[in-house]
Amino acid sequence: MKRVAILLALFAALAGGVGYVAFMPRHTALPPPSDQADACTIREERPDWYRATRRAARKWDVPPSTMLAIVWRESSFRAQARPPRRGGWWIFKGKPISTAYGFSQALDGTWDWYVEETEADDARRDRYSDAIDFVGWYMDKSREKLGFSGLDARDHYLAYHQGHGGYRKGRWRRIAWLKKAASAVDERAMLYDAQLFDCDMLHAHERMVAEAPLPRINPRTGWKSPVPLRKPEPELASLADSN
């Protein structure tokens, strides 16, 4: 009887522990915006997120529309987004296929690189302001290492997903779904840009001058620097060149 009682106690303790892990409270996060296809809705419903996006845009000299498009594709604006899991059974879930996490889906190693270089020791991937700053930082790295312009949303996303080394090796050329995803990011960035042109006067002003007028931590020569690897789409070119 004592042995049975001990086994029952152990089983109850194990079940309680598993239940706590499975249902333990998590960091409270805001839900995604109601219309992720409308940058003006994102701006209206999540003003703190949009202000953080603009700060990152000025800091890293990249368009807010491109950063928003990358976050949309990576996490659908979900704070605690994770990639699918391998296997698993019942409440015993398998491990995620990668260490990507949060709004930006940054990998552990890449996030550590960002934290070390920017000295943002308290940054969190499930905090929007940190995640969008990471996206801007990575785009700046892509521009530095690969020669992209800020308007190259498609190439920025390919490098974001494959890494700078993977982009150089051209592995993405053999991945049909990734090329399709990158084209979707490019289209979404242009859509966001056009929408923000209508509902954000500051964004419209920046897009209508050759060089963005706001002070920057890392001053460049505007969103179109250095020389783009691809020609901007006609809609973006017309906005950028109008004066």
pLDDT for 187 equals 95
231: Cβ contacts below 8 Å, ≥ 6 apart: 237
The pLDDT profile of the chain, 243 residues, written as one tens digit per residue, is 555 455 455 444 444 443 433 333 445 778 999 999 999 999 999 999 999 999 999 999 889 999 999 999 999 999 999 877 666 555 556 665 679 999 999 999 999 999 999 999 999 999 999 999 999 999 999 999 998 876 789 999 999 999 999 999 999 999 999 999 999 999 999 999 999 988 988 777 666 654 443 333 344 444 544 333 333 333 433 333 443
At the topology level, CATH places domain 32-241 in: Lysozyme (1.10.530)
pLDDT for 97 equals 62
Q: What share of the chain is helix, strand, coil (3-state, %, to 5)?
A: 60, 5, 35
Directed axis angle between helix 64-75 and helix 128-146, to 10°? 110
Q: Taken in order 117, 119, 121, 122, is the CA torsion positive or negative? A: negative
CB-count exposure of residue 164 (10 Å: 0-12, 13-18, 19+): middle
Query: So where are the chain's domains?
Result: 32-241
Q: How many Cα atoms within 13 Å fall on the side-chain side of residue 96?
A: 11
Single pTM value for the model: 0.74
Can you name the residues that pair with 89 across neighbouring β-strands? 92
Q: Which of 132, 133, 150, 189 is nearest to 62 (CA)?
A: 150
Spatial separation of the C-alpha atoms in residues 211 and 241, rounded to whole Å: 10
